[in-house]
Structure 1
Amino acid sequence: MKNLIVLVITAVLVISIIFSLFSCINEDRIEVPPVKLEDVNGNYKGRLITVQGQFRSEKIVDFKIKKDTLTFQEFPIKEIVTAVVKDPVKTQAALTAMGKVKYNIKYTSVLNADKNWVELTFAPKELELQIPVDGTVKKAVVAIVAKQTGYFIGLDHSLRFVLAAEKITVNDVVLNPFEPIYYNFPFCIKN
């Protein structure tokens, strides 16, 4: 009698597990809403993780995308100026004197086959900075590159991309030693 009860309970459990698995398989999948290339346009707020060697910092930044250009009204230049100036007090004075630095990045975009995300290929140009130090001005030319393709995701309308400052030339001399600066934007959303 005990064996019969155990057998019935086991059979009921097996049947319920099988039905549970089939119901999971047959559930409707979440549909990702389709996007258009124009959906990328707008004002964004995003998390910026800046990495240079062992140093890492995080902050929230704003930028705008319109047509084929990503625009920073205030590009993060602290690490660049620090690499050029070296002295922390003089670096802060230079940053204050320079104020906000605007930087535009051109890009091209392509929809994926399912039209649920947009791939952005960035083509950054050199960033030229006039850095005031000790009564003179150092001309710094920063080679900015896109380290990977950017993505605008249709599911949450977020944008992700990575840039890097790979080389700095100061008054026509390559800054050496110089540790590249990585600007990681892992999650940016429209305002």
Structure 2
Amino acid sequence: MYWYNTIKETFVTTSVLLLLSGSYACNKPEIKETGAELKYFDLKGYFKQQADQLKQANPEVNKSVAHNGTTEAKKVHITAWSQELNLFAESDINKPAWRSSYAVKSNADSIIYTALSPELKTRQVIIRKNGANVTEIAIFNSAHNFLYNTTERLVYMPGKYYSIDKNQKVKVMGANDYRIKGNF
């Protein structure tokens, strides 16, 4: 449990630094969606729906958390699914300013969105489907500025598992690797 508290403290400290430095990295104001038709897959809506379904089903999850190679695992019932899946929902690419910012490649069983500009945090979103059903979502995020570098690999397979792999390199504080995996 000691390392869990250490992760939490490190994450809070890193988050504060990232929030403070975020204003330097942003060069485009966020424009809120005002009922306009979505151009890309609705990640925010999809993960809200998944969070609602999981909250109602209340499945037991085999969850493991790793920080710099130290791992702890336990079976839990997660009560705040919208918070647990928040990084997935935050990777939504349906902002009006980004309507032409992603290349779209689709075939019978997948859609791949790839960022056209290096400034965009969400670099790639891969949606795999079986007919109309989503079978997997993989998201690759990357953010860099003069204080930190962060990369994230998020994978969600409905009814099977979700995983979050995050690597942060913060000047002065060093590097941190995080991995969270929940098996349903």
TM-score category, normalised to shorter length: under 0.3
Kindly name which structure, 1 or 2, has the bigger radius of gyration based on alpha carbons. Answer: 1
Relative contact order higher in (CA < 8 Å, ≥ 6 apart): 1
TM-score (norm 2): 0.26
Q: Give the strand-richer structure, 1 or 2.
A: 1
